[in-house]
Amino acid sequence: MTMSIYNLHLKRHFSKNDLYIFIAAFLSYTLIFGFELTHFTLSIDEESFDNFSQTISLGRWGHALLRHYILPEPFVPFFTLSLALIILSISSTLATNYLSLSFEKSVAFVIVLAALPQMAYQFEFSNQADTVALSTLASVLSLQFLKKINIIKSLIFIILTVFSLSIYQSMFLYAASLLCIWLSLSAINKEIDFKKSLQVTTTYSILTLISLIINASLANFFSRYYNIPISDYLSERIGWKIASTEQILRNLSSFIWDYFSFNADYGMNLFSLSIPLVIACAIKILTKPSNKILSLLSIIALLMSTFLLYIGIGMRLPPRTMTQAPVVLAGLFILASILWRLNITAILASVIILFIGSSSSNKLFYSDYMAREADKNLSSQIINTIYSKYPQFKSESTPIFFYGSYTPFNSWRMKRTDIFGRSFFEQDGGNNGRMYRYLAMSNMFNAKIPTREQVANSRINGSTLPSWPNRDSISIMDGVLIVKLSDKLSQYNK
């Protein structure tokens, strides 16, 4: 069955091929997230049943309202991630429509798009997997309305972009990179010139700026409405405010070079393929009789769009914020395939890239799974020691205070994996709130929280105790059961 998507103004109708493209995308994402789908693992930041206040304070009011009124809070194992993968697969299919790719190129595009495991760093947080997928979908949909722009299309673009921003503020850059792919394809096919390219880019920039202003205003409105102050989490990470320009430029160049020299975060080294892909594109473009400069500039802009957020913020950010990286790699792959006239070869190459990405992604999730196994063993040892020393202990009446932090042994933990493989007992250098919530959500222990006065006394009393695994690291002092994990206190041990 075919039908015209009138309100999206797609250049081609949906057909049976689109179903096949969707299936290719969904199977690819399933291969990337297979372990997490079948072995749900509680990760850092998933230990709270209610994230409404936190997400409002971070300016993610769209996420907060979706969770509060429509989607399950905080998540449902298997369901939330499955829904996210379905939405991402729809988004990928719509992206191929926007780019007007052939069937073979569309299949290769969605496979490579899924293959780079950047979304693994995003979907490690199950409490935002489906909403981030919706943000991605809105970002892709918004571009459909840039074609033959008018007032109504401009309004729809702004609405979709604001919706995307309200869930995850940097996701609008996903559309920016996708637009760069379209500009590159159009330049190579001699469908646009410098003037048209500048018009499209300017229109996108102006409408996006308006969307950013509207979203910031709405974030402030919902912050006041719910009486939840806006967090300074983002403002504190603007490097241009806290370091010299020279230092920032050195850090940025080092960070960008890491992504071009196989020294990026775990699993992200696939992005280094972008350099040979750019070279392959350049070789073919230079043999063309016309539009060489615009084609080359568009491809360079596509490549550098990966780092727009980092350049704007002025500091290294975690890999989960690299939302453009998959679409940039997929775009360069398709551009090279088109220029070199590769069809079946491109699909076979994309499958190889997918297998490499799947290996990395599933290893990341398994390291987290083993981290929870280690946390479970540590928790059981601590609980057994508590009841061994104090058989009459009652968790509902005696407060517990964790002093310091502890890193259980995890042989599967790898370097440069953001928070994959981290323990709840080590995060933030020791965070009692996380430990309490982890123990409760895991149905191991429902701890009574000490008062501020008890916390102050316990921070003093705990300094006299030996550290875990010494049996005497657990002691009841001034009516509070203290578990001393290490000698070093953090600001979150409270």
pLDDT, one tens digit per residue, over 34-93 is: 999 999 999 999 999 999 999 999 999 999 999 999 999 999 999 999 999 999 999 999
Q: Give yes or no for a contact between 410 and 367, defined as CB atoms under 8 angstroms apart.
A: yes
Whether residues 465 and 331 share a domain: the answer is: no
Instruction: Identify whether 28 is part of a domain.
Output: yes
285-305: pLDDT as tens digits:
999 878 899 999 999 999 999
Q: Please report the pLDDT score of residue 295 as a whole number.
A: 96
Q: Please report the pLDDT score of residue 7 as a whole number.
A: 43
Instruction: Identify whether 35 is part of a domain.
Output: yes
Q: Please report the pLDDT score of residue 313 as a whole number.
A: 87
319-369: pLDDT as tens digits:
999 999 999 999 999 999 999 999 999 999 999 999 999 999 999 999 999
Q: Please report the pLDDT score of residue 231 as a whole number.
A: 83
Q: Please report the pLDDT score of residue 14 as a whole number.
A: 62
Whether residues 315 and 408 share a domain: the answer is: no
Instruction: Identify whether 490 is part of a domain.
Output: no
Whether residues 176 and 93 share a domain: the answer is: yes
Please say if the pLDDT value at position 314 is more than 90.
no
- How far is 338 from 341, CA to CA, in rounded Å? 5
pLDDT band at 5 (very low <50, low <70, confident <90, very high): very low
Whether residues 443 and 336 share a domain: the answer is: no
Whether residues 226 and 298 share a domain: the answer is: yes
Of 206, 210, 262, 229, the C-alpha closest to 53 is: 229
State which H helix or E strand residue 401 sits in.
strand 400-403
**Where is the domain boundary, 310, 342, 374?**
342
Whether residues 87 and 35 share a domain: the answer is: yes
Whether residues 327 and 381 share a domain: the answer is: no
Q: Please report the pLDDT score of residue 4 as a whole number.
A: 40
pLDDT band at 6 (very low <50, low <70, confident <90, very high): very low
Q: Please state the domain count of the chain.
A: 2
Q: Among positive and negative, which fits the CA dihedral 467, 468, 470, 472?
A: positive
Instruction: Identify whether 160 is part of a domain.
Output: yes
- Strand 480-484 relative to strand 400-403: parallel, antiparallel, unpaired? parallel
Which of 162-166, 221-225, 245-249, 260-264 has the least mean pLDDT? Answer: 245-249
DSSP summary character for residue 475: E
Whether residues 282 and 421 share a domain: the answer is: no
Whether residues 318 and 386 share a domain: the answer is: no
Residue 221 has which token pair?
A: 């409105």
Of 434, 436, 430, 457, the C-alpha closest to 448 is: 436
Cβ–Cβ contacts within 10 Å for residue 150, how many?
Answer: 8
Q: Please report the pLDDT score of residue 44 as a whole number.
A: 95
Whether residues 167 and 70 share a domain: the answer is: yes
Instruction: Identify whether 62 is part of a domain.
Output: yes
Mean pLDDT, the chain, whole residue set = 93
Instruction: Identify whether 454 is part of a domain.
Output: yes
Determine the structural domain holding residue 241 and report its residue range. 14-342
**Where is the domain boundary, 291, 310, 342?**
342
Instruction: Identify whether 142 is part of a domain.
Output: yes
SS3 of residue 263 by DSSP: coil
462-468: Cβ within 8 A, 24+ apart: 462/401, 462/403, 462/404, 462/489, 463/403, 463/487, 465/403, 467/404, 468/382, 468/406
Whether residues 330 and 414 share a domain: the answer is: no
For the chain, what percent of residues have pLDDT higher than 90? 88
pLDDT band at 13 (very low <50, low <70, confident <90, very high): low
Whether residues 153 and 35 share a domain: the answer is: yes
Instruction: Identify whether 355 is part of a domain.
Output: no
